[in-house]
Amino acid sequence: MRDMEFKMERQGLLEVGQNVTVTESILPTSFYYTIVPAVAMSKNYPAYERLTTREGVVKEINQTSRGFYTIVTFDEENV
């Protein structure tokens, strides 16, 4: 199991327990992930931290002074 944090611009776009799909985008030296349909985006990850699966479950949603963040759990053990 692997948890990843995604930044959301507003609340109400996701719910805890919801299944989500992510798309992978490539930068010159890293990768980032977007929850479909573009509701939240991850930080940049180097190649050695690249996701091996594209489906996860929303674990929690938090509001901070910097905005809304969601934690998504990915099951990479069964890939």
On the question of pLDDT at 79 being above 70, the answer is: no
69-78: pLDDT as tens digits: 999 999 987 6
Residue 79 forms part of a structural domain? no
Domain that holds residue 10: 2-74
On the question of pLDDT at 41 being above 80, the answer is: yes
Q: pTM of the predicted model, to two decimals?
A: 0.90
Helix (H, G, I), strand (E, B) or coil at 48: helix
7-33: pLDDT as tens digits: 998 888 999 999 999 999 999 999 999
Residue 15 forms part of a structural domain? yes
43-62: pLDDT as tens digits: 999 999 999 999 999 999 99
Looking at the structure of the chain, the number of domains it has is 1
Residue 53 forms part of a structural domain? yes
- Identify the CA nearest to 62 among candidates 31, 21, 16: 16
The burial of 41, by beta-carbon neighbours within 10 Å (0-12 exposed, 13-18 middle, 19 or more buried), is given as middle
